[in-house]
Amino acid sequence: MVNIPKDLSDLLQAMATDFPAILRANLVGIYLWGSLTNDAFDETCSDVDCVAVTRRDPDDYEFSELNGWFENQKKQNPWVGRIDMRFVIDHEFLDKSSQCCGFYPYTGKLVRHGSDGNPIIWINVAQSGITLWGKDAKLIAPHVSAQCLNDALMLELKYLEQDLRSNARTDPTGRSSTMPTQFSRLAASFSQPATGHWLQRTEPTPGPWKQSHPCGKRSFIVPKITG
């Protein structure tokens, strides 16, 4: 992991210590993914991307205890406001009918919602994920087929189109304030030439960016896949 501020390190250590005590036998593992695992972390703007794997959906008691943990930590550590974390059920990572819950910068509290079955997270976890507690990241991540990833990217592009149109109505200048132009870099990260070519053809025009899906993470940190 890249060098990170001490208060962020303390927060991650608290997570690795406290969540096993709250979830007990229900917890399988806690993992970091995203910029923290790809030498791309920026203290000024990066989220702290985490995922916890459970054996079942947290019950009401566990949910309340987890939400209380976030509320208490929020008073002590400013990095809580950057946490983007979901709790997903083991063996249901790609199942869009599965239930999960999460704590996100745009909610500021733990919320229940359906899973988006996002495979991009798990490609990242498999190749560079960091295990904070539990089963090794490389062992927990499922296989993601090229078709599954292609479908996910099509969905992400749909979200992007919606975001761009929404922002065009509120920002007539069309200036880009927060969305990085990362699609061209995506193409270079794939080992499959056809997929890279598709990404180059479908790269959108840079524009304003905002988060709109309750559990879709659009940082586009996508490592290579094979098969």
CB-based contact 111:214 (threshold 8 Å): yes
pLDDT in tens, 176-202: 444 443 443 343 334 334 344 444 444
* Token code pair at residue 97: 């009918």
pTM of the model: 0.76
pLDDT in tens, 17-57: 999 999 999 999 999 999 999 889 999 999 999 999 999 99
110 burial type by CB count under 10 A (0-12 exposed, 13-18 middle, 19+ buried): buried
How would CATH label the architecture of 6-140? 2-Layer Sandwich (3.30)
Distance CA 140, CA 57 (A): 17
Count the Cβ atoms, other than its own, within 10 Å of residue 97: 8
Cα 63 to its chain centre, rounded Å, is 20
Sketch the domain layout of the chain as residue ranges.
6-140
Return the percentage of the chain with pLDDT > 70, whole number. 73
* Token code pair at residue 37: 């695992």
DSSP assignments along 6-35, one per residue: HHHHHHHHHHHHHHHHHHGGGEEEEEE-GG
